[in-house]
């Protein structure tokens, strides 16, 4: 099955194969690395959310789920390139995944509610609520997007102020979620979990490296191991100049030895190669090579994926 996947992707000229989480023990051995990580964040909303910045005070408005794809879709498409790992969405995806009335994992959840801020749109949140019987209920965030920290603060303040609730839970938030910094009390806002979201497999290493954007110039020789796609294996020189990458076979000594799985983990910028080197999974032969490669791979914001598939 995996051999057919690699063959088909190669024939189609598709350099990346991606899948949602699943089992690391299974897909890791086939070369899938950690593409994105997500945090589970919990807010104690039994009291007002304490903030260190002033929220955007423009009015919030409820959005009918039937109108959400037309309103949120263009905003999402306009902003999704800000973070690596976010996928394109069709109107059908909005309606059948995000706006579905019954939560597929919990029958006790309310239908989705959407709150938007700004005209034109500057941010939104999709959430559901759940009653805990005779005790205060909870608020569960599907997605929260904001143009600025002030807009995000306004949306989080609203969520923490929903009547008859004592807890706000947000799953698969970015590792660098601004909430964790602009909240005034980290005892009120806690990270309760961290999980892998997207897994990335470089089916064509050269094409994948040439296709991505780069934060800095770099010249490094990689000796890549790939037990399933022989064309990826061996020494190649990656040279990035002014945002353009070349990747060519070479007989020059390797600066870094690594498996295609580790290269996949670093590809979106989620896991620095120097950390993988400290773990014994990347071998450096040239001092500072992993650090220089990490600088080139860096993205301004942490990669992030909220869509399961």
The DSSP string of 156-172 is: HHHHHT-TTEEEEEEEE
State the catalytic residues: 27, 309
Q: Both ends of the chain: CA-CA distance in Å?
A: 18
The residues near 155 (Cβ < 8 Å, ≥ 6 apart) are 60, 115, 117, 123, 124, 125, 144, 146
Please give the Cα distance from 251 to 236 (Å, whole number). Answer: 8
The residues near 8 (Cβ < 8 Å, ≥ 6 apart) are none
Judging by DSSP bridges, how do beta strands 256-259 and 218-225 pair with one another?
parallel
Which of 220, 253, 214 lies closest to 237 in space, CA to CA? 220
The side-by-side arrangement of strands in the sheet containing 16-20 is 16-20, 198-202, 33-34
Q: How is residue 99 annotated by DSSP? A: S
């Amino acid at each position: 099955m995996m051999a057919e996947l690699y063959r088909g992707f190669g024939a189609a000229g598709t350099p990346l194969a991606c899948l949602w989480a699943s089992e690391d023990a299974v897909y890791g051995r086939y070369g899938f690395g950690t593409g994105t990580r997500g945090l589970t964040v919990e807010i104690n909303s039994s009291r007002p959310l304490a903030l260190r910045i002033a929220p955007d005070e423009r009015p919030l408005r409820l959005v009918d789920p039937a109108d959400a794809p037309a309103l949120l879709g263009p905003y999402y498409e306009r902003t999704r390139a800000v973070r690596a790992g976010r996928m394109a969405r069709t109107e059908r995806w909005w309606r059948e995944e995000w706006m579905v009335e019954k939560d597929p994992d919990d029958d006790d959840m309310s239908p989705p509610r959407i709150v938007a801020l700004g005209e034109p749109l500057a941010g939104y949140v999709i959430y559901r609520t759940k009653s805990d019987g005779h005790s205060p209920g909870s608020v569960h965030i599907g997605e929260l997007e904001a143009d600025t920290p002030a807009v995000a603060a306004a949306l989080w303040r609203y969520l923490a102020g929903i009547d008859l609730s004592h807890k706000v839970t947000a799953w698969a938030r970015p590792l660098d979620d601004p909430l964790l910094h602009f909240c005034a009390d980290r005892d009120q806002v806690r990270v309760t979990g961290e999980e892998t979201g997207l897994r990335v497999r470089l089916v064509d290493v050269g094409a994948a490296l040439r296709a991505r954007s780069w934060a800095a110039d770099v010249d490094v020789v990689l000796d890549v191991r790939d037990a399933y796609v022989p064309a990826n294996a061996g020494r190649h020189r990656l040279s990035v100049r002014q945002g353009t990458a070349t990747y060519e076979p070479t007989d020059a000594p390797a600066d870094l030895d690594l498996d295609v799985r580790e290269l996949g983990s670093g590809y979106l910028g989620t896991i620095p190669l120097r950390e993988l080197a400290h773990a014994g999974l990347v071998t450096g032969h040239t001092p500072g090579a992993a650090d220089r490669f990490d600088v080139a791979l860096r993205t301004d914001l942490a990669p992030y994926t909220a869509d399961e598939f």
